[in-house]
Amino acid sequence: MNKLLDETLSIETAERINSRASTPFDNAYKAALSTEGARYIQGFLAFVGKPYRPIEHSWIELGDASEVRIVDPTLPHLNKNPQELWYFAAQKLTVKKLKAIIEESKEDYPEDEPLPIYGEPPYEYYGDMMLGGQDYLAAYQAAEAKCKEINELNLERN
């Protein structure tokens, strides 16, 4: 499957939803609600430089199985070269499923933020980050390996 970051649509979406720098989950949620055919994705982002490890992140995806486009409404706030961003999906939700989970979360846990969503308990833990099962662990490990690879290559070039 081919996944390309759509820079133009990411920036347009960020402007349309008034995305904020430190809220990738909320940004992706708003983008999913306002973009026809979108799927809400949670996972990890790998890139060259600090913090030299994956960060938990969220975005949306558009398209069918033959060509999936990544739309990241937080992209303008990342201050990274878009060609040096790698996305590792841990969980994909349709807008319908996303809305249902958010509603249920608000009802059952009104004092907690409903995002990010970690799937069905029991949860697994990795370091100080809560992960939602084997899919999260696999995505984190793949992103972690990519971070090591690209940051070692970057150190060798300098």
Average pLDDT by stretches of 10, the chain with 158 residues: 85 97 96 97 93 94 91 96 94 94 88 81 54 82 94 65
Predicted confidence at residue 112, as pLDDT, reads 85
Report the alpha-carbon distance of residue 141 to residue 133 in Å, rounded: 13
Predicted confidence at residue 125, as pLDDT, reads 54
